[in-house]
Amino acid sequence: MSQVDILAVFAHPDDLELYVSGTMLKMKHLGYRTGALDVTRGEMGTRGTVEGRAAEAENAAKILKLDIRENLGLADGHVFVDDAARTAMVRALRRLKPKVILTHQSGDTHPDHDHISTLVRECSRLVAMRNYDPETGDEKIPPPIVAHAVFSRRIVPSFIVDISDHLDERMEAIKAHRSQFYDPKSTEPETMLTGKSYLDDIESRARYFGQLIGVRAGEPFYVAEALNVHDPVDLLTRPMNLYS
Task: Record the pTM.
Answer: 0.94
Instruction: For residue range 33-50, list pLDDT tens digits in order.
Output: 999 999 999 998 889 899
Answer yes or no: is pLDDT of 244 > 50: no
Answer yes or no: is pLDDT of 211 > 90: yes
Of 43, 57, 123, 114, nearest in space to 88 by CA: 123
Answer yes or no: is pLDDT of 89 > 50: yes
Buried b (16+ CB within 10 A) or exposed e, 103-129: bbbbebeeebbbbbbebbbebbebbee
Answer yes or no: is pLDDT of 243 > 50: no
- Mean pLDDT score of the chain: 93
Instruction: For residue range 140-154, list pLDDT tens digits in order.
Output: 899 999 999 999 888
Q: How far apart are CA 152 and CA 159, in angstroms?
A: 16
Mean pLDDT value across residues 48-58: 94
Q: How far apart are CA 37 and CA 89, in angstroms?
A: 10
Please report the pLDDT score of residue 203 as a whole number: 97
Q: How far apart are CA 36 and CA 91, in angstroms?
A: 15
Please report the pLDDT score of residue 137 as a whole number: 66
Mean pLDDT value across residues 116-129: 96
For residues 147 and 223, the answer to whether their CB atoms sit within 8 Å is: yes
Mean pLDDT value across residues 223-231: 93
Residues sharing a CB contact under 8 Å with residue 178, sequence separation 6 or more, in sequence order: 56
In this predicted structure, which of 65-79, 90-104, 131-145, 201-215 has the lowest mean pLDDT?
131-145
Q: How far apart are CA 43 and CA 94, in angstroms?
A: 26
* Helix (H) or strand (E) run with residue 141 in it: none
Of 82, 81, 63, nearest in space to 14 by CA: 63
Domains annotated on the chain, with CATH: 6-236 (3.40.50.10320)
Q: Which one has a higher pLDDT value, 23 or 182?
A: 23
Please report the pLDDT score of residue 236 as a whole number: 86
Instruction: For residue range 162-188, list pLDDT tens digits in order.
Output: 999 999 999 999 999 999 988 888 888
Give the type of residue at 66.
L
Q: Which one has a higher pLDDT value, 228 or 136?
A: 228
Beta-carbon count within 10 A of 206 CB: 22
* Helix (H) or strand (E) run with residue 15 in it: helix 15-29
Burial of 84 (C-beta count, 10 Å sphere; 0-12/13-18/19+): exposed
In this predicted structure, which of 16-30, 78-92, 160-174, 182-196 has the lowest mean pLDDT?
182-196
Please report the pLDDT score of residue 237 as a whole number: 85
